[in-house]
Amino acid sequence: MCGIVGLYLKDDALRPELGRRLTAMLVEMTDRGPDSAGVAVYRNGVPEGWSKLTLFHPGPTYDWTGLEQRLAATLETRSHGLRRASHFVLTTAAPAEAARRWIGEHHADVRVMSVGESIEIYKEKGLPKDVAARFELETITGSHAIGHTRMATESAVTTEHSHPFSTGRDLCLVHNGSLSNHNRLRAWLRRRGIEIQTDNDTEVAAGYLTYRLGQGASLEEALEAAVKDLDGFFTFAVGTRDGFAVVRDPIACKHAVLAETDQWVAMATEYRAIAKLPGSEQARIWEPVPGEIYSWERSAERH
Catalytic residue positions, numbered: 2
Strands (E), 107-263: 111-116, 119-125, 144-150, 165-168, 171-179, 232-239, 243-248, 257-260
Question: For residues 283 and 99, what is the distance between their CA atoms, to the nearest angstrom?
Answer: 43
What is the C-alpha separation between 46 and 52, in angstroms, rounded?
Answer: 7
Q: Residue 144's beta-bridge partner residues?
A: 8, 42
Identify the CA nearest to 296 among candidates 77, 70, 80, 144: 144
Using CA atoms, how far apart are residues 241 and 223, in angstroms rounded to an integer? 16
Q: By the 8 A CB rule, do 236 and 247 touch? A: yes
Residue type, 112: V
Whether 70 and 165 have beta carbons less than 8 Å apart is answered as no
Task: Kindly report the length of the chain.
Answer: 303
- Cα–Cα distance for residue pair 262/265, rounded to 1 Å: 8
Maximum pairwise Cα distance, the chain:
54
Q: How far are the Cα atoms of 55, 80, 147, 199, 302 from residue 143, in angstroms, in the given order?
A: 21, 22, 14, 31, 16
Neighbours of 192 (CB within 10 A): 10
